[in-house]
Amino acid sequence: MAIVTFYEKPGCQGNLRQKKLLAAAGHTVRARNLKTETWSADRLLAFIGKLEIGEWFNRNAPALKSGDIVPENLGFEEVLHLLLDNPLLIRRPLMEVEKVTERGTRIERRVGFDYAAVDAWIGLNNVALPDGDGEACAHGAEGHDSCGRAAYEKPADKDEESRHGRCGAH
């Protein structure tokens, strides 16, 4: 089984569901905080660089859902800076696995949690999968909108952070 470094937003119920699936499949999950991790352009691009720019984003982020940010209307450099400045806009989870082959060790990286893609990559080993999209917000279609805060805004105070800390918008 694989050791998966799993970059998440702590408290995100969707990421919790994904980590539980990986653990149930026999993998070891090493969770890392996406918000506090030190990201450089090169490091982030190692995960997302082969994808279309629109696939780099967390489509559940309030700023995207509201239309405040439209990735397809932005240039490469602008998008990269936006993601580095606002990690909660990054599609998650980001995952990496060290694979040992006859040719040596290599690190493989993935973005998002498409069940079929993760199963083909490291195996979900016949674990019962929830219905629907593996990346869908656990709060439902309106869950994030209820807090009224954009993903890139900082909370006004610590109490606000604790009230909204699990909604995925902060």
Annotated active-site residue in 12, 137, 147, 167? 12
Does the annotation count 12 as an active-site position? yes
- Is the previous residue joined to 93 through a cis bond, with omega within 30 degrees of 0? yes
Task: Show which residues are catalytic.
Answer: 12
